[in-house]
Structure 1
Amino acid sequence: MSWFKKITLLVLAGLMFGVLAVAGAYLYVKDDLPSVATLKEVKLQTPMRVFSQDGQLISQFGEKRRIPLKLEEMPELLIKAVLATEDSRFYEHPGIDIIGMFRAATVVALSGEARQGASTITQQVAREFFLSREKRILRKVKEIFLAIRIEQQLSKDEILELYLNKIELGQRSFGVGAAAQVYFGKAIQDLTLSEMAIIAGLPQAPSVLNPVRSPSRARTRRNIVLGRMLSEKYITKQQYEEAVQEPIISKLHGAQITASAPYVAEMVRQEIVAKYGEEEAYSKGFQVYTTVDSRLQAKAVEAVQKNVVGYDERHGYRGPVATLWQANAETQADGSVQFAEQGRLSDAEILAYLDEQDGLEDLTPAVITAVSGREASAILSGGRAIQINWQGLSWARKFISHDRQSHAPKSAAEVVAPGMHVLVRPQGANWRLGQIPNVSSALVAINPTDGALQALVGGYSFAMTQFNRATQANRQVGSNIKPFIYSAALDNKLTLATVMNDAPIHEWDEGANQAWRPKNSPEVYDGPIRIREALAKSKNVVAIRLLRTVGIEKTRQHLTKFGFRDKDLPHSETLALGSASLTPLELATGYAVFANGGYLVKPYFISKVLDDENNLIFEHKPVPVCAECEARDLAGQQAVLQARQHEKAQQQAAAEALAADPEAQLEAQFAAPVSPNQTAIADFVSAEVPYAPRVISAQNAFLVADALKSSIWGGRGWVGTAHRLRDLKRQDLSGKTGTTNDVKDAWFSGFSPELVVTTWVGFDDAESRLGKTAWNSNLGKDQTTGSEAGAKTALPAWQEFVGFALEGKPQIITPPPVGISSVRIDLATGLLTQATDNSSTFEYFIQGTEPKTYANSSVSPVPTESKETQEDIELF
């Protein structure tokens, strides 16, 4: 046999052996091969995203970061970069690349090293979706057959789209969309050619080639990708040269958050996990839309942080974060100050130190490098040098205690020295010395017509602590409780014109074995005073006398109508002074009853949930205020009552007739017709109430809301505790300050007909006092001094937020409801008067409770069940 025949037979034998080997391998593994048909309905694991009501991204939750994209949404150059690097013959081979496999095998044979991969993109899809990464021959065989199957059932574009969305690219990013965000903080369409090449080079070894961990390796790999693109003629020589010269600037980026509401996001996370479980919540791509307005939320964050910083600065500077080297101040003959520095760090050492430090919110770590006169020089991370001028330093008198501050500084050397690690914040074009506030705060805003949460801030910084003070902090509410005490009084025959005695109370408390002497704050007593004025001035002793008049238990029962829990309301007269502990959200919910005319709404913050394909899987059905519905159902209830009465009369008449005719009685047992009204009555009684329940009368709600306007606008010759809100120039606002005993908590709650807002300021330990501040001679006349209180400490954030929320909106003046009358009364006695001068005013009354006599007439007091003497209380 000639050598040619031998070679031919050898090749044929080899081919036959190869075919038999492939067939045998297929028969061996075919039962273990999964169905690739599932790829047509594949659900990529995507994180849960939380949005504001206007579509701004609040947060993202999930272990895997993924932004699924359609192939047409991906830049063409990025696709070509991946193809050039991973599988240049992708659109030509049937799932496996024989040429590529032969080339890789040749390299192994010649070099003894596996320098080139032989897996196609289709094979990688098979491995990612169906197989493990273990390096075994059997796994490789399965991969090859799965790749062929995939090519038979999916188009090339479908396979490539799956690959580009599925591939792991390091730092918990999966898919090219997520990688663009994680490494460069960009949408994929905004990437440069260099950045696309970096991402395209990651599949080979994402953990070591990513630009965050190793910029040098990422640069080398990028240049290889760009070289492959150039050889495939996907880019020009000029594009190649420009891209390889581009510096690699990369850091880890989170999701592109466009609305700052981290406390709301955490509330959503807990709710969704409780409803769907962790696995589904974090991987099914839920899109959760909240009720939060992104504009209002941004202003709420700004108002709270600005107010907290204002409080913190006026109480003094607590010193640097750390001291890196010693610098002793020495006063020179000309009065200037020089520093003798010991152990000063080099610039490189300072920068290395700053690279390890963290900022918080708008606070940035800095190291003071020089101090001269009334300014200081500092360096920031990255080497940026800044100047802190006197405007940014003059506030920083030394903190001694919450009640005491040192003298105002006269030079920068009294505040800072070289070597100090400090925190600074931008102040326009300049910088300001700062510090992390010790005090906490919260703000919550809801829509009183349905309870939808409009904005919520649970603290100065979510990064510092995730404890949500708006929903979790039960704090004593102080005078914020008084409107509810007064509402109970109005529900028990008292009026806004009722005169009470604003005088000190001295009583022996047998239980405590000591005298109880509740005081006004400030300790000013006006003697006989009308209820409206007492509420506006926040008179403590009047609130106690009202509580005694109505009775503690009766008052507590009334307060539960506003959604307050019975266990949170003390069984003592301290209830009138605000010893009850509530959360800001609970208080806002209670105040909403006054704002909406007497209805209790239930707060909610999730409006709807969509799946990853935008299908609606949950939608909240709010239970709104609906006065028309109430009137309609009242008429329906009356109709049902009339029908029942009519039916009862018919049954009685029929019974009497049957009693007179025994034969008819026997027939009736078989007939037993069902009343046509019974079904309708049963349906009406069992129907779920479609609107918020009324808990107090419209008249009661109106009177309290109107009285709370006097807290802002005052009266003839007197001002209310919230008089600063006059600056908003709105007549549709009502509000109440709140300050607890020893000034541990400061509150302000108020509302318009369309917005209810509560703000709180205090320390988390609940024992520290908010204290007081002295005058700082370095600052202007607008500074806050004296004892902290609701009007000084909590109201400013409320004012800034509400002023923004209602800016440009028309005032909504709620008209008196049916059942309210208005008569002219004497200011001193609350009785009727014919005078039209400054001694009188018009007052609102629930019809039937108006005074019956005139101020110049003698009248007997109305008897009450109060323990007060006639000297203490006069009811007219």
Structure 2
Amino acid sequence: MKKTAKYLFYLVIAGFLAACIGIYSLYIYVKDDLPSVEVLKDVEFQTPMKVYSADGKLISQFGEKRRIPLSYEEIPQDLINALLATEDSRFYQHNGVDFIGILRAAFTVLTTGQKKQGASTLTMQVARGFFLTRDKTYIRKIKEVFIALHIERELTKNEILTLYINKMELGNRAFGFGAAAKVYYGKSIEELDITQIAMLTGLLKAPTAYNPLRNKERAMFRRNTVLWRLKETNYITEEIYQTAIQQPLTAKFHGAQIEFDAPYIAEMVRQEMIDLYGDKAYTQGLQVYTSITADNQNAAIKAVRQNLHNYDERHGLRENTNFLWQEEEEVPTQQALIEKLQSYKDFGLLENVVVTQIDEENKHFIFLRKSGDLGIVKWENMEWAKPFIDDDKTGPAPTTVSEVVNLGQVVSIRATDSGWRLAQFPAASAAFIAINPTTGEIQALVGGYDFRQSEFNRVTQAVRQVGSNIKPFLYSAALEHGFTLASIINDAPINQWDRSQGTAWRPKNSPAIYDGPIRMKVALAKSKNVVSVRLLRAIGVNNVIDHLSQFGFERDQLKPNESLALGSASFTPLQLASAFTAFANKGITTQPYLISKILDSDDHILFETAPTLTCEPDCELANSQVDEDNRAVSEQNAFLIADAMKSTIWGGGSWANNTGWNGTGWRAQSLKRRDLGGKTGTTNEAKDTWFTGYGPNVIATSWVGFDDNNRSLGKESGATAALPAWITYMQTALANSPKNYTPIPENIITARIDQETGKLTHKTNYTADFEYFIKGTEPTQYIESAPKVDILTAEHAGEVVEVEQEEIF
């Protein structure tokens, strides 16, 4: 007996040694393929990039995997209990491999022939999730065991559990329970009840098979199984269990909670982030804060869309052949109509509906919406619909509803203050950009009517002729070559014979009105084409190109011919707005930027834009500096051109004495602010229309045209097609901004001049006005024989002439 026991003892020892040797041999065999688990201490989950506005509102999210990493302290105890009850009840007892669980699973297989129990611990699942594939092979299982053992030596149990909760795939591109709570319930994990946590836990077994969005019955079964395990392991009571299993499934898909819509902005950020970080931008949980605010961006979107609809209505209703049934056909059921309407995409302010009833007596029509609701369009909201003939002409105004719409026709409507209004997708396109000229912050940007209809960003990608928007730069060059705002230039027709072509170049004013000798300031405000040509000739085209290039325009965009004076050069709205910043920024062009800062997933700042400012060292904004490298012109030159552009809006002269005149931007007088200025722009045949203008801390450019640059806007101009959007935007952008007049720079003086001749005068009636000059360039001759007061120095014999800046405009 003793001998038998001895042999058994030796056999056990031998078996143990053989097992140890076998395990060691397996370890040696797979050792070189085992990854280092040190990376788990500093793991970075693939978390999508989020783009925010300056005021912290989510604009967009980029990345295939939705993930919201949780710290251990943020994990609800109910979730921990659910995982332990269903996935690994001995998690806090084993060392990464539950040998008791393995034996139990093996016994089940031997006795039943079926694999009813799993043997993988949470730690083994972490090992597989981070380092291995899902291939069902023995060698993978062996590697899984060794990695799990190593993980247990390197990490605490709570660290392992946290990794598991943040790593596991739970369907619908949700990785980790933080993201799954948002995707399935639109809530944070701590807001979920035990029933919802059980549903998410049930997804671990098979995210597709038990997905509540695809298979509610199987999802309900799996959820209740998790609840039963919670009851069996005493984490919940019988009463709680019975109540929970009676609850319906409440899961539904929740996308990223976009707080406001700015897809052109989001796409620009995405492209810039890819340039900076490559594909890692999508996975590192980067938080990108832009310079725009929701209020400004929404105001710009509204301005662009409303303006395009207004333009569209002026040019008539285009033919519409979309019908859901014809007059001779049987009317489909309401449900059938709704289903057919679903195939029509809605863009911008528009909603597609079908006309179901026409009431000629009361002059309205009734329509059916995709929601099943009915609505009405009254005559006042459709009488604009003259038939479109071409870009210049429309047919006669309609007199009956049936001339506008027909039964069964799919039409577009939009909501207005006066009710639903007949509409159509605008044929023209638009762009709008607003920049803070001091810091370079892009405050708002709209690249078209709707990004979902066209991703082409016309702010950055549309290179269009700028027309008279070039003139402030030309006039700035004139100031550098001996001209002043009071200089007299002849506004008279030009006929230049071209011997090589046998033709005459005859640049014309638009409209073709010629005022004869005119002050340069008035010529800019009235946008006199022939004056611009005369100035270019006086300065020299090469000198003009040299001057324009100082504003950031590329020289190859500036062709050396006289048409340059009329805006034949082509730029993007972004280029143009950036160049205009010099006039509102003491002569220094500002480099626009969209990304203000980038944070990593732990809120550490990776990048922050330091704004470039033109101010003294005690400037309020921190980390700012003056960038003289971007100086385009002197502060005095910029001040004079900015002042001249105020006359584009406010004009001059005396209306009471029949000498009053308007600038081309007079419609902006509706804003009732004299601290604004700008310039219209219209190209030949109105293929491109512009308005660029400034106010306190803002430069904004509005462009309207067709994407097909061979097509004309018809009888339109920058004043009628582009300016209204600028005005609408400024109503919001300047709503809380006090009037702010630019301080008069050093070496700028004022002189009272005769409005007709530009010479000095001592008259104080309507024929005179104050004008600004760079010291040393002021007129020296008086229209009268001798002045009574030395107005150049504003002081004579102890008498001081005080001039309020507002009076000068």
> Alpha-carbon deviation of 1:607?
2.8
C-alpha distance in 2, partners of 1:365/1:16?
82
The corresponding residue for 2:482 is 493
* Partners of 1:14 and 1:357 in 2: CA distance: 77
Q: Are 1:497 and 1:830, in contact at CA under 8 Å, matched by a contact in 2? A: yes
In the other structure, the counterpart of 1:139 is: 140
How is 1:472-491 mapped onto 2 (pairs within 5 angstroms)? 472-491=461-480
1:634 counterpart residue number: none
Deviation at 1:766, TM superposition (A): 1.2
Structure 1 residue 239, shift from structure 2 partner: 7.5
SS in 1 for 2:169: coil
- 457-466 or 235-244: bigger deviation: 235-244
Which residues of 2 match residues 323-722 of structure 1 at below 5 A? 323-326=323-326, 328=327, 340-342=328-330, 344-373=331-360, 374-381=363-370, 383-390=371-378, 393-427=382-416, 431-626=420-615, 691-716=628-653, 717-722=660-665
Q: Give 1:74-153 correspondences, 5 Å limit.
A: 74-98=75-99, 100-102=101-103, 104-105=105-106, 108-109=109-110, 112-153=113-154
- The one-character-per-residue Cα deviations of 1:78-97 (angstroms, maximum 9, x if unpaired) are 44444444334434444344
Q: Which moved more, 1:197-206 or 1:223-232?
A: 223-232
1:749/1:9 CA distance change after superposition, 3 Å: farther
CA distance in 2, matches of 1:14, 1:734: 97
Tell me how far apart the structure 2 counterparts of residues 110 and 167 of structure 1 sit (CA, whole Å).
Answer: 32
Distance verdict in 2 for CA 1:767–1:14, change over 3 Å: farther
Q: Is the 8 A contact 1:226 1:240 kept in 2?
A: no
Deviates more, 1:467-476 or 1:198-207: 198-207
Distance 1:703 1:317, change over 3 A: same
> Could you say which residue in structure 1 is the equivalent of 2:799?
none
SS in structure 2 opposite 1:401?
Answer: coil
Runs of 5+ consecutive residues of structure 2 not aligned to the other structure: 620-624, 654-659, 787-809
Deviation at 1:579, TM superposition (A): 0.8
In 2, the alpha carbon distance for the partners of 1:242 and 1:299 equals 48
Give deviations 1:376-395, integer Å, cap 9, x for gaps.
444444x5323133265454
Counterpart residue number, 2:298: 298
Residues 264 and 33 of structure 1: CA distance in aligned 2, closer, same or farther (over 3 Å):
same
* Equivalent-residue separation in structure 1 for 2:731 and 2:683 (angstroms): 26
Does the C-alpha gap of structure 1 residues 371 and 462 become closer, same or farther in structure 2, counting only changes over 3 Å? Answer: same
Relative distance call for 1:842 and 1:401 in structure 2 (3 A) is: same
Partner of 2:253: 251
- CA shift at 1:15, angstroms? 11
Once residues 180 and 299 of structure 2 are traced to their aligned partners in structure 1, the CA distance between those partners, rounded to angstroms, is 32
Aligned-partner SS, 2:172: coil
Structure 2 length as normaliser, TM-score?
A: 0.87
Could you tell me whether the CA contact under 8 Å between 2:38 and 2:154 is conserved in 1?
yes
Per-residue displacement from partner, 1:521-574 (whole Å, max 9, x unpaired)?
A: 122222222111111111111111111121211111111111111111121111
What is residue 74 of structure 2 aligned with on the other side?
Answer: 73
Give CA-to-partner distance per residue, 1:764-800, whole Å, 9 cap, x none.
Answer: 12111112xxxxxxxxxxxxxxx32212221122112
Shift, 1:139, TM fit: 1.4
Equivalent pair of 1:547/1:573 in contact (CA under 8 Å): yes
Q: Which amino acid aligns with 1:311?
A: Y
What is the CA-CA distance between 1:446 and the residue it aligns to? 1.5
Query: Which residue is equivalent to 1:25?
Result: 23
Q: 1:36 to 1:502 in 2, by over 3 A?
A: same
Structure 1 gap ranges (5+): 329-339, 631-687, 772-786, 859-876
Aligned to 2:783: 855
Closer, same or farther in 2 for the Cα pair 1:365/1:126, shift >3 Å? Answer: farther
Do the aligned residues in 1 keep the contact of 2:49 with 2:288 (CA within 8 Å)? yes
- Match of 1:341, SS state, is coil
Describe the superposition over 1:481-540 as per-residue Cα deviations: whole angstroms up to 9, x where unpaired: 111111111111111111222222233233443222222112222222211111111111
How many angstroms does 1:21 deviate by?
A: 4.1
Aligned partners of 1:196 and 1:392: how far apart in 2? 52
- TM-score for the superposition, normalised by structure 1: 0.80
Determine if contact 1:371/1:418 at 8 Å carries over to the other structure. Answer: yes
Q: Cα gap change, 1:857/1:216 in structure 2, threshold over 3 Å: closer, same or farther?
A: farther
Instruction: Give the aligned partner of residue 694 of structure 2.
Output: 751
Distance in 1, Cα, partners of 2:264 & 2:368: 33
Name the count of aligned residue pairs.
Answer: 767
Cα offsets for 1:812-870 (capped at 9, x unmatched): 21232121221111111111222221111111122222222222569xxxxxxxxxxxx
Q: Which residue of 1 aligns with 2:671?
A: 728
Give 1:733 shift.
1.0
Question: 1:826 maps to which residue?
Answer: 754
1:628-662 per-position Cα deviation (integer Å, ceiling 9, x unaligned): 799xxxxxxxxxxxxxxxxxxxxxxxxxxxxxxxx
- Which position in structure 2 is the counterpart of 1:778? none
2:377 partner letter: N
CA contact (8 A) 1:601 1:692 kept: no
**Counterpart residue type for residue 385 of structure 1:** D
Q: Which amino acid aligns with 1:713?
A: W
Shift in alpha-carbon separation, 1:178–1:10, aligned structure 2, 3 A = farther
CA distance in 1, matches of 2:332, 2:632: 68
1:762 aligns with 2:705: yes
Aligned residues of 2:365 and 2:401 also touching (Cα < 8 A): yes
Residues 692 and 626 (structure 1), Cα distance of their counterparts in 2 relative to 1, 3 Å cut? farther
In 2, the alpha carbon distance for the partners of 1:248 and 1:735 equals: 56
Distance 2:753 2:419 in 1: 58
Amino-acid identity (%): 49
Q: Residues 811 and 12 (structure 1 numbering): CA distance in 2 closer, same or farther, change over 3 Å? A: farther
* 1:806 aligned onto 2:806: no
SS at match of 1:617: strand
Is residue 394–residue 408 contact of structure 1 (8 Å, CA) maintained in 2? yes
Q: Distance in 1 between matches of 2:472 and 2:306?
A: 28
Q: Name the aligned partner's letter for residue 122 of structure 1.
A: T
- Structure 1 residues 23 and 445, CA, compared in 2 at 3 Å: closer, same or farther? farther
Question: How much has 1:691 moved relative to structure 2?
Answer: 4.4
The 3 A distance-change label for structure 1 pair 237 and 356 is farther
- Bigger drift between 281-290 and 78-87 goes to 78-87
